[in-house]
Amino acid sequence: MAEPKQERATRTRALILRAAAEVFDESGYSGASISKIMNRAGVTQGGMYFHFKSKKRLALAVMSSQQTFIDFPSEGAGLQRVIDLTFHLAHELQTNPLIRASIRLAVEQGEFGVRDDTAYQDWVALVETYLLEARQRGELLPEVDEHDFAVVLVSAFTGSQLFSSVASARADLPSRIVLLWRYLLPGLTPPRTRASLRVEPADRTPAT
């Protein structure tokens, strides 16, 4: 049975988006080309331009897809969920070329004439949601503003991962996140809550 036209178009678009992310991750915006992306995706020029009219539009699509490239952890709640998210994202940056590409493009967006903080604001909104849950659980100090701290955390994580990228190709990113939380938590939550939190990467050893 022939694949329905709409499903084929959706699948082709997803293939192009993934191929573009891989090429942007490897080469950056300037080093990427439509021909490289077409070859990686295995599509024709017509198929490419049906979905994306230019390299810039492809870059924008990849850049705006950060959260769709990640399977978020479902365990944990409140402040522990915030902490786990940062370690999960660190792992994704080490292993997932799609999220690496989207974040690289967010940093390089000046090269294609864009100044768009939507991706960062999306992370702020997600962290703020988790922090509001932490507030309901009594985990935050009274003076903490959930939105303000979400901005601080996204900014600090962004800086940490950029520093780690240059220093070690992100090999030391988890240890930098441990350090980040060591200094952020005292201003965020009371000692009794800090004592109950796990501030370390999840154990990813396969079960035997």
- In this structure, is residue 203 part of a structural domain? no
113 and 186 in a single domain? The answer is yes
Print the domain residue range for 33: 5-63
178-207 pLDDT tens trace:
999 999 999 999 999 999 999 998 775 544
25-48 pLDDT tens trace:
999 999 999 999 999 999 988 889
Question: What total of structural domains would you count in the chain?
Answer: 2
- In this structure, is residue 23 part of a structural domain? yes
- In this structure, is residue 206 part of a structural domain? no
Stretch 46-68: mean pLDDT, rounded?
A: 87
165-171: Cβ within 8 A, 24+ apart: 170/90, 170/93, 170/94, 171/94
- In this structure, is residue 162 part of a structural domain? yes
- In this structure, is residue 120 part of a structural domain? yes
84 and 108 in a single domain? The answer is yes
100 and 119 in a single domain? The answer is yes
101 and 179 in a single domain? The answer is yes
pLDDT of amino acid 2: 53
94 and 136 in a single domain? The answer is yes
